[in-house]
């Protein structure tokens, strides 16, 4: 959002321009060719790029042609300078990108690449479709360079949240970078080089024995599904279309925006909202993974009232509400308005707390109301 | 918070006190980590060597409950070193003369004798914060859950007023709210002293306004707090209670007292999503819709008003709280509960609250506004106190150090302090029912310094009995130098480790918040 408004400002205020695909366009100081191209809706492909992370320039898919440069340049790391003449697409560039994609896909042994599409369940993670979408766009199937691959899945890591399916890893390092740059946890790193490249933790351990906090950010930036949301994948076979509902996390007071994922009546997972104003895509273990309590069998299902034998027994709404009201009326009649008290919840929405205080104030001419902030 | 979360990346000096932010507000902590990457200095004051302390440029390991002494020492140095923002002091504050005369007595050496932090480190902290271009304070319950919680907050305010670190980006005094909508519950008027929007109930103008709005005489006196209400229940003068979404029996201190109070009521109605220790004592239990099953609004710690939305149908016969309360109200003959949707309720709140007046259901769709939003078209207020304080000038408060309600002695020689852990939340009604969380933390444990484990004859991984004057529990010992010598820590999350059987030594006289952060205990191997 900010980027767009900054850009609009730049467009009106700045006199500096480049020529992009034959059109003169203005840019802000420090803007990269990729940022300008994306702003103008050019479909420049990327794999190692995540706009929350420092540009990395590793995948080379975002290359563009610039007059005066002998070779295409990575647009994500090249800053615009006045008067540059840039082409975001050309026959040469597309051929180059297709070759790169063939190399990348040959790395990715997951799914059914050989049939021309890499099947990745969207439940694996927010960005898990990026590689498969590009493979489809460039019609590559990984057969051209079939052979050696890098990254080995860690089936020994039995943690319940993060599947470490490194057979699908393409060494874009987005997971390592998000952990360092956004989370500041530095729990994972890169071991070895070339075909021996492996994303791992300190001492090559399980995540639970590392500095990992299970925030799931690595899962949500992974472009191939190599890191995947184990909890969400439990519902891979659950029928129904995947629906996303924008809401706010129910845990601490930071108020992170999330997209709740559901299939039919069932909540199946959480995606962080990249445009969430409080969190800008970040989440913690609770917001990311502790969502399924709402459909736990322990939930109270029906109203209950205490029977004459002292037991709580199920009741209809009418019975229970009548009983609830009668008790307050009796206390008010027999002991006065100040014999009634209400405690509102700091967990429920405003409409709950507002109704509770109105019930006491408008109902019993009393200010005997509080919430759970004192403990 | 006086400043928005995005400002947490902007300070040049961060002072975090009584906040275990990486565990309790992890996403906010990522912003502090970015501020550190940008070159900010961080001072962390906490009895425990929490993860934030490991990242700090200066760590002040103070004794539990000694914050006022530390902060007086810092104020002394700021004054002595000429780090006062004179222009701010003259134009924006009042009471500085008396305050400065007061702090002249309290040297860092005096502070060291109380809080145990070396005087040189207190000096350094004061110099950094005092000289900051943009100094920001962050705190949580480590400041407020004390008998001197208000004194602690006022001591922090004094530092802010001395240095003018307020009203600008990257500065401010920033309490991190612990629950998703605890800010909202206060905003909505669910507090004994204020109508919605923090309008005092004792102000005749507000009384007249709400009499007209609610069509009924209002109470001219403040209500009592929950703590007093539970006392009156135990004395049998409080007769009927409505509790919404709080496991009062477990989350409040001195559990035996709470249970006795709740069972003494003639009539207890509980609205919740799970059965718990409190619903077990109720006369009527009403099932509410949970998160994800209802539309509504939360306000976060930076006063940002945000929509929550229904994604899945409610479980069983659960209904939204506003509907349930409206049905009870109608049966009690109370007018004004003819709501048809959460939107109706929220829009009524906006119409009666000066801080929400410029908002309505549709306007908050994208969560862009920080209150106060006094009228439609107003952009909201991300930074408070830019040019003036709510009541004009910022008032210095003369605060003195007091010991905690109970201090260690021969019978109870160890300080216990309590809090939360990353994986679990509160009394685990939610995280305890989310699959996988158990894998990372299957049970509660007591963090004890390795030297103490040996000296006290305990065993790392073994069980111990921990007793206070109010009760006794058994808990597993874990040796860690996260705990300082002489102080132990556990969370209150696990129902089988009833730590609030032990706590409850005293309450802040103003807010009646319990001193949950300090409790002298005795440990014995079992």
Mind listing the pLDDT tens digit for each residue in B424-439? 888 788 999 999 999 9
Q: Answer yes or no: is pLDDT of A375 > 90.
A: no
Domain residue spans of chain A: 2-89, 111-233, 242-295, 304-374
Residue A373 has a pLDDT of: 78
Contacts of A285 (CB under 8 A, 6+ apart): A161, A213, A214, A215, A216, B26, B422, B423, B437, B440
Q: Give the mean pLDDT of A105-128.
A: 73
- Using a CB-CB distance cutoff of 8 angstroms, which residues of chain B are in contact with residue A278? 5, 27, 300, 302, 304, 306, 367
DSSP 8-state assignment for residue B304: B
For residues A283 and A286, what is the distance between their CA atoms, to the nearest angstrom? Answer: 8
Beta strands (DSSP E) in B198-251 are: 199-200, 240-244
* B152 has pLDDT over 90: yes
Instruction: Please tell me the predicted confidence (pLDDT) of residue A115.
Output: 43
**Is any Cβ of chain B less than 8 angstroms from the Cβ of A257?**
yes
Is pLDDT at B245 greater than 80 in this prediction? yes
Tens-place pLDDT, residues B324-339: 999 999 999 999 999 9
Contact B495, B250 (CB under 8 A): yes
Query: What's the confidence (pLDDT) of residue A363?
Result: 97
Q: Got the DSSP string for B399-458?
A: ------SS---SSS-EEEEEE--SS--TTSTTGGGSTTHHHH--S-EEEE-HHHHHHTT-
Quote the CA–CA distance of A161 and B203 in Å, as a whole number. Answer: 53
Query: Nearest-CA residue of chain B relative to A182?
Result: B30
Give the residue from B420, B49, B244 showing the smallest Cα distance to A286.
B420
Q: Which two tokens stand for residue A278?
A: 């409080």
Residues B50 and B473 sit within 8 Å (Cβ to Cβ): no
Report the 10 Å Cβ neighbour count for B167: 20
CA distance B104 to chain A (A): 34
Are the beta carbons of B287 and A303 separated by less than 8 Å? yes
Considering CB atoms only, which of A255, A300, A373 is closest to B301?
A255
pLDDT of residue A9: 52
How far is C-alpha A81 from the geometric centre of its chain's CA atoms?
A: 34
Query: How many residue pairs from chains A and B have C-beta atoms closer than 8 A?
Result: 482
CB half-sphere exposure, B466, CA atoms < 13 A:
29
Across chain A, how many H-helices and E-strands are there? Answer: 10, 16
Q: How far apart are CA B282 and CA B381, in angstroms?
A: 42
Which of B185, B308, B432 faces A345 most closely, judged by CB atoms?
Answer: B185
| Mean of pLDDT values over B451-479 | 96
Instruction: For chain B, say whether A131 makes contact (Cβ under 8 Å).
Output: no
The C-alpha atoms of residue B27 and residue A281 are separated, in whole angstroms, by: 10
Could you say which DSSP state residue B12 is in? S
* Chain A residue with the nearest C-alpha to that of B320: A352
CB contact under 8 A, A300 and B327: no
Find residue B475's DSSP bridge partners.
Answer: B464
Helix (H/G/I), strand (E/B), else coil: B289: coil
The model's confidence at residue B36, banded by pLDDT at 50, 70 and 90, is very high
Q: What is the mean pLDDT of chain A?
A: 91
Chain B residues with CB under 8 Å of A282 CB are 27, 30
Say which DSSP state B244 is in.
Answer: E
Q: What is the pLDDT of residues A179-198, one digit of tens each?
A: 999 999 999 998 888 888 88
In angstroms, the separation between the Cα of residue B479 and the nearest Cα of chain A is: 17
CA distances from A45 to A88, A93, A94, B253 (A): 10, 11, 10, 57
Mean pLDDT of chain B: 95
Residue pointed to by tokens 């706590």: B503
- Between 3.80.10.10, 3.40.140.10, 3.30.70.20, 3.40.630.30, what CATH number should domain A111-233 receive? 3.30.70.20
Q: Residue A312: which pLDDT band, with cuts at 50, 70 and 90?
A: very high
Q: Do B192 and A246 touch (CB under 8 A)?
A: no
Contact B244 A342 (CB under 8 A): yes
Determine the topology of domain A242-295 in CATH: N-terminal domain of TfIIb (2.20.25)
Give the DSSP letter string of A209-249. Answer: GTT-----HHHHH-SSSSEEEHHHHTTTT--S-EEEEEEE-
User: In chain A, what is the greatest distance between 2 CA atoms, to the nearest angstrom?
Assistant: 93
The mean-pLDDT minimum among A8-12, A308-312, A367-371 falls in A8-12
DSSP for residue B297: E
For the stretch A46-99, pLDDT in tens is 999 999 999 999 899 999 999 999 999 999 999 999 999 999 999 999 999 999
Q: Are strands A257-263 and A266-272 parallel, antiparallel or unpaired?
A: antiparallel
List of domains in chain B:
5-176 (3.40.228.10), 182-352 (3.40.50.740), 414-525 (2.40.40.20)
**CA separation for the pair B17, B21 (Å, rounded):** 10
How far is residue B421's CA from residue B489's CA, in Å, rounded to a whole number?
A: 11
The pLDDT-based confidence of B254 (bands split at 50, 70, 90) is: confident
- H-run or E-run covering B212: helix B204-214
Strands (E), B356-413: 394-395
Look at residue A111 in the predicted model and tell me its pLDDT.
44
Q: Is the pLDDT of residue A2 over 50?
A: no
Mutate which: B29, B54, B146, B181, vs A, most A CBs within 10 A: B181
CA atoms within 13 A on the CB side of A374: 29
Tell me the helix, strand and coil percentages in chain B, rounded to 5: 35, 20, 50
Please tell me which of B86-95, B382-391, B430-439 the model is most confident about, judged by mean pLDDT: B86-95
- The per-residue pLDDT for range B208-244, each reduced to its tens digit, is 999 999 998 999 999 999 999 999 999 999 999 999 9
pLDDT surpasses 80 at A349:
yes
**Closest Cα in chain B to A301:** B316
Q: How far is B136 from chain A (nearest CA, A)?
A: 17
- What is the structure's pLDDT at A110? 52
Nearest to A354 among B248, B287, B349 (CB): B349
Cβ–Cβ below 8 Å for A289 and B436: yes
Give residues 299 to 328 of A whose Cβ lies within 8 Å of B: 299-306, 312, 317, 320-328
B299-331 confidence digits (pLDDT tens) = 999 999 999 999 999 999 999 999 999 999 999
pLDDT, position A193: 84
Q: Would you say residue A13 has pLDDT above 70? A: no
Nearest to B309 among A245, A265, A330 (CB): A245
pLDDT, average across residues B37-59: 97
> Interior CA angle at B250 toward B244 and B252, to 5°?
80
Q: Examine the pLDDT at A113 and tell me if it is beyond 70.
A: no
Contacts of B514 in chain A (CB under 8 A): 374-375
Q: Does A350 contact chain B (CB < 8 Å)?
A: yes
B324-382: pLDDT as tens digits: 999 999 999 999 999 999 999 999 999 999 999 999 999 999 999 999 999 999 999 99
Would you state the CATH architecture of domain A2-89?
Answer: Roll (3.10)
Quote the CA–CA distance of A110 and A117 in Å, as a whole number: 11
Phi, psi of B454 (to 5 degrees): -70, -50
Residue of A nearest to B140 (CA): A253
Please tell me the least confidently modeled range out of A228-232, B358-362, B418-422, B458-462: B418-422
């Amino acid at each position: 959002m900010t980027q767009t408004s900054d850009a609009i400002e730049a467009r009106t205020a700045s006199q500096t321009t480049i020529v992009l695909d034959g059109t003169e366009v203005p840019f802000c100081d420090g803007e990269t060719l990729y940022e300008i191209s994306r702003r103008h809706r050019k479909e420049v492909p990327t794999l190692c790029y995540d706009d929350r992370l420092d540009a990395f320039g590793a995948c080379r898919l975002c290359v563009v042609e610039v007059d005066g440069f002998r070779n295409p340049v990575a647009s994500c790391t090249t800053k615009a300078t006045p008067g540059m003449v840039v082409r975001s697409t050309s026959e040469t560039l597309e051929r180059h990108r297709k070759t790169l994609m063939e190399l990348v896909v040959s790395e990715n042994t997951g799914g059914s690449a050989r049939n021309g599409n890499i099947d990745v369940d969207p439940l694996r993670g927010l960005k898990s479709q990026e590689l498969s979408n590009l493979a489809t766009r460039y019609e590559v199937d990984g057969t051209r360079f079939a052979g050696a691959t890098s990254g080995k899945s860690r089936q020994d890591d039995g943690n319940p949240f993060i599947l470490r399916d490194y057979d699908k890893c393409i060494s874009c390092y987005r997971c390592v970078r998000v952990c360092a740059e956004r989370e500041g946890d530095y729990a994972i790193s890169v071991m070895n080089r070339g075909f021996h490249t492996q994303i791992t933790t300190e001492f090559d351990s399980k995540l639970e024995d590392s500095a990992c906090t299970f925030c799931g950010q690595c899962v949500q930036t992974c472009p191939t599904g190599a890191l995947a949301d184990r909890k969400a994948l439990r519902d891979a076979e659950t029928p129904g279309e995947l629906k996303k509902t924008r809401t706010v996390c129910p845990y601490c007071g930071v108020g992170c925006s999330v997209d709740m994922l559901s299939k039919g009546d069932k909540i199946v997972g959480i995606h962080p909202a990249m445009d969430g104003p409080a969190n800008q895509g970040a989440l913690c273990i609770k917001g990311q993974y502790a969502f399924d309590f709402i459909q736990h069998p322990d939930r109270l299902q029906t109203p209950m009232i205490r029977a004459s034998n002292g037991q709580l027994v199920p009741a209809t709404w009418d019975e229970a509400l009548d009983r609830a009201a009668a008790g307050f009326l009796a206390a008010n009649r027999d002991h006065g308005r100040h014999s009634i008290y209400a405690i509102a919840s700091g967990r429920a929405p405003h409409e709950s707390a507002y109704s509770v205080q109105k019930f006491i104030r408008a109902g019993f001419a009393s200010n005997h109301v509080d919430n759970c902030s004192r403990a | 918070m006086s400043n928005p979360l995005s400002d947490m990346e902007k300070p040049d000096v961060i002072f975090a006190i009584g906040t275990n932010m990486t565990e309790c507000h992890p996403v906010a902590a990522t912003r502090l980590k970015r501020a550190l990457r940008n070159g900010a200095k961080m001072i962390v004051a906490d009895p425990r060597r929490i993860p934030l302390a490991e990242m700090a440029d200066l760590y002040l390991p103070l004794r539990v409950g000694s914050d006022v002494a530390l902060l007086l020492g810092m104020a002394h140095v700021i004054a002595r070193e000429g780090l006062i923002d004179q222009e701010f002091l003259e134009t924006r504050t009042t009471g500085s003369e008396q305050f400065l005369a007061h702090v002249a007595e309290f040297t860092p050496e005096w502070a060291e004798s109380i809080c145990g932090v070396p005087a040189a480190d207190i000096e350094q902290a004061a110099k950094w914060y005092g000289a900051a271009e943009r100094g920001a304070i962050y705190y949580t319950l480590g400041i407020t859950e004390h008998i001197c919680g208000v004194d602690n907050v006022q001591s922090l305010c004094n530092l802010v007023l001395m240095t003018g670190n307020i009203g600008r980006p990257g500065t401010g005094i920033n309490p991190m709210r612990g629950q998703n909508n605890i800010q909202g519950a206060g905003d909505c008027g669910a507090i004994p002293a204020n109508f919605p929007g923090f309008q005092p109930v004792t102000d005749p103008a507000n009384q007249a306004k709400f009499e007209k709005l609610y069509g009924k005489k209002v109470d001219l006196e403040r209500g009592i707090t929950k703590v007093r209400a539970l006392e009156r229940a135990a004395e049998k003068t409080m007769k009927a209670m409505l509790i919404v979404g709080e496991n009062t029996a477990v989350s409040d201190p001195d559990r035996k007292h709470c249970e006795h109070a709740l069972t003494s009521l003639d009539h207890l109605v509980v609205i919740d999503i799970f059965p718990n220790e409190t619903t077990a004592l109720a006369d009527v239990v009403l099932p509410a819709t949970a998160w994800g099953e209802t539309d509504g609004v939360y306000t976060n710690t930076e006063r940002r008003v945000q929509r929550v939305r229904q994604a899945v149908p409610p479980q069983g016969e659960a209904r939204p709280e506003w509907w349930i309360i409206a049905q009870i109200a109608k049966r009690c003959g109370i007018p004004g509960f003819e709501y048809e949707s959460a939107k109706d309720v929220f829009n009524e709140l906006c119409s009666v609250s000066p801080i929400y007046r410029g908002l309505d259901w549709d306007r908050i769709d994208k969560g862009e506004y920080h209150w106060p939003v006094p009228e439609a078209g107003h952009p909201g207020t991300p930074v408070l106190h830019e040019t003036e304080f709510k009541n004009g000038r910022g008032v210095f408060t003369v605060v003195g150090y007091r010991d905690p309600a109970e201090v260690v002695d021969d019978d109870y020689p160890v300080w216990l302090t309590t809090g939360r852990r990353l994986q679990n939340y509160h009394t685990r009604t939610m995280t305890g029912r989310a699959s996988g969380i158990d894998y990372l933390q299957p049970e509660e444990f007591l963090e004890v310094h390795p030297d103490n484990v040996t000296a006290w004859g305990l065993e790392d991984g073994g069980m111990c009995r921990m007793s206070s004057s109010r009760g006794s529990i058994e808990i597993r010992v874990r040796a860690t130098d996260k705990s300082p010598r002489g102080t132990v820590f556990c969370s209150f999350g696990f129902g089988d480790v009833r730590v609030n059987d032990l706590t409850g030594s005293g309450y802040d006289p103003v807010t009646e918040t319990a001193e949950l952060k300090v409790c002298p205990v005795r440990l014995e191997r079992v």
